[in-house]
Chain A
Amino acid sequence: MGLGHANYLLAAALLLLGLHGLVTRPNLVRKLMAMSVLQVAVIMFFLSLAAKDRAHPPIVLDGPVVRARDYINPLPHALMLTAIVVSVSTTGVALALLIRIHRRYGTLEEPELLERLRE
Chain B
Amino acid sequence: MTHLPVLVVLVPLVAALLIPVLALGSARAARIFALAALLLTQAMADLALHRVLVAGTWHYRLGGWAPPWGIEYVLDPLSGGMAVLVSFMALLTAIYAGPHLAGATRIRSGTFHALFLLLAAGLLGIVVTGDVFNLYVFLEISSLAGYALLASGTPRAAVATFRYLLVGTVAATFYLLGIGFFYAATGTLNMADLGARLAGGADPTLVGMGVALVTVGLAVKSAVYPLHGWLPDAYSHAPASVIPFVAAVMSKVGAYALFRMLYFVVGTAGAGGEALRLLGLAAAVAVVAGSAMALAQRDVRRMLAYSSVGQMGYVIMGFAIGNAAGVTGALLHILNHAVMKGCLFMSGGAVAWRTRVTSVREYAGMARRLPLTMAGFSLAALSMIGLPPTCGFFSKWYLVLGALQRGAWPFVVALVASSLMTAAYFLRLLERAYFGEAEAPPAGERRTPELPLSLLAPVLVLALGTLALGIFNQSIVTAVIRHALPGGL
Interface: B476 (CB within 8 A): no
Pick from B140, B155, B176: contact of A90, CB under 8 Å: B140
**In the assembly, what is the distance between CA of A19 and CA of B213, in Å?**
14
- The distance from the CB of B175 to the nearest CB of chain A, in whole angstroms, is 10
B180 pairs with A42, CB closer than 8 A: yes
Query: When the two chains form their complex, are residues A97 and B183 in contact, meaning their CB atoms are under 8 A apart?
Result: no
Give chain B interface residues in 432-449, CB to chain A under 8 Å: none
Q: How far is the CA of A76 from the CA of B177 in the complex (A)?
A: 12
Residues of A within 8 A of B176 (CB): 42, 83
Which among B148, B158, B169 is the interface contact of A39 at CB below 8 angstroms?
B169
Q: Is the interface of B mostly helix, strand, loop or mixed?
A: helix
Binary contact track A22-47/B, C-beta < 8 Å → 1, others 0: 10000010011001001100100110
Is B170 within 8 A of A35, CB to CB? yes
User: Does A101 lie within 8 Å of B166, measured CB to CB?
Assistant: no
A117 close to chain B: CB less than 8 A: yes
Given contacts A22-B170, A76-B183, contact A105 B144 (CB under 8 A): no
Contact B180 A45 (CB under 8 A): yes
Alpha-carbon gap, A54 to B461, bound state (A):
65
Contact, CB under 8 Å: A100 / B165: no
Q: Which residues of B contact A49 (CB under 8 A)?
A: 180, 183-184
B328 CB to closest chain A CB (Å) equals: 35
Contact B158–A93 (Cβ < 8 Å) = no
Chain B residue numbers with a CB within 8 Å of A83 are: 136, 176
Interface: A113 (CB within 8 A): yes
Check if B170 sits within 8 Å of A90, measured CB to CB.
Answer: no
Tell me the chain A residues, 51-103 only, with Cβ under 8 Å from chain B. 76, 79, 82-83, 86, 89-90, 93-94, 97-98, 100-101
A-chain residues with CB within 8 Å of residue B133 when the two chains form the complex = 79, 82
A98 to B159, CA, bound (A): 8
Any A CB within 8 A of the CB of B151 = yes
User: Which residues of chain B are within 8 angstroms of A32 by Cβ–Cβ distance?
Assistant: 166
Bound-state CA distance A90–B176 (Å) is: 15
Are A101 and B173 in contact, CB atoms less than 8 angstroms apart? no
A105 and B160 alpha carbons, distance in the complex (Å) = 13
Interface residues of B in 119-155 (CB under 8 A from A): 133, 136-137, 140, 144, 147-148, 151, 155
Across-interface contacts of A100 in B (CB, < 8 A)? 151, 155, 158
In the complex, A46→B162 CA distance in Å?
27
B100 within 8 A of A: no
Inside 8 A of A79's CB, which chain B residues have their CB? 133
Interface status of B87 (Cβ within 8 A of chain A): no
Kindly list chain B residues whose C-beta atoms are within 8 Å of the C-beta of A35. 166, 169-170
CA distance A98 to B151 in the complex (A): 11
Q: Does B159 lie within 8 Å of A113, measured CB to CB?
A: yes
Q: Size of chain A's interface in residues, with CB distance under 8 A?
A: 30
A28 and B160 CA atoms in complex are apart in Å by: 12
A94 touches which of B159, B162, B170, B183 (Cβ 8 Å): B162
CA of A86 to CA of B161 in the docked complex: distance in angstroms?
18
Chain B neighbourhood of A94, CB < 8 A: 162, 165-166
Bound-complex Cα distance A42 to B209 (A): 14
Residue B108 interfacial (CB < 8 Å): no
Chain B residues positioned under 8 Å from A5 (CB to CB): none
- In the complex, the answer to whether A45 meets B177 with C-beta atoms within 8 Å is yes
For B157-200 the 0/1 string (1 means CB < 8 A from A) is 01101100110011011001100100110000000000000000
In whole Å, how far is A12's beta carbon from the nearest beta carbon of chain B? 10
Closest to A101 in B: B158
Known: A35-B166, A93-B148. Is A42-B156 also a contact (CB below 8 A)?
no
Q: How far is the CA of A15 from the CA of B136 in the complex (A)?
A: 19
State whether A117 touches B180 (Cβ < 8 A): no
What residues on A are CB-neighbors of B140 within 8 Å? Answer: 86, 89-90
Among B159, B170, B180, B183, contact of A101 (Cβ-Cβ < 8 Å): B159
Instruction: Please determine whether B147 and A46 come into contact, CB atoms closer than 8 angstroms.
Output: no
Question: For the complex, what is the distance from the CA of A42 to the CA of B172, rounded to whole Å?
Answer: 11
Nearest to A78 among chain B residues (CB) is B133
A9 to chain B, nearest CB (A): 15
User: Which residues on the A side are within 8 Å of B158 (C-beta)?
Assistant: 97, 100-101, 104
> In the complex, which of the residues B165, B170, B172, B180 contacts A97, with contact meaning CB atoms closer than 8 Å?
B165
Sample (29) of A-B pairs whose CB atoms are under 8 Å apart: A15-B177, A22-B166, A22-B170, A28-B162, A31-B166, A32-B166, A35-B169, A35-B170, A42-B173, A42-B176, A42-B180, A45-B177, A46-B183, A49-B183, A86-B140, A86-B172, A89-B140, A89-B144, A90-B140, A90-B144, A90-B165, A90-B169, A93-B144, A93-B147, A94-B162, A97-B147, A100-B151, A101-B159, A105-B159
Chain A residues close to B by CB (< 8 Å): 15, 19, 22, 28, 31-32, 35, 38-39, 42, 45-46, 49, 76, 79, 82-83, 86, 89-90, 93-94, 97-98, 100-101, 104-105, 113, 117
Given A86-B140, A94-B166, 4 more A-B residue pairs with CB atoms under 8 Å apart are A31-B166, A83-B176, A97-B161, A101-B162
Binding site for A on B (CB under 8 A): 133, 136-137, 140, 144, 147-148, 151, 155-156, 158-159, 161-162, 165-166, 169-170, 172-173, 176-177, 180, 183-184
List of 5 A-B pairs having minimum Cβ-Cβ separation, nearest first = A104-B155, A100-B158, A86-B140, A97-B162, A42-B177
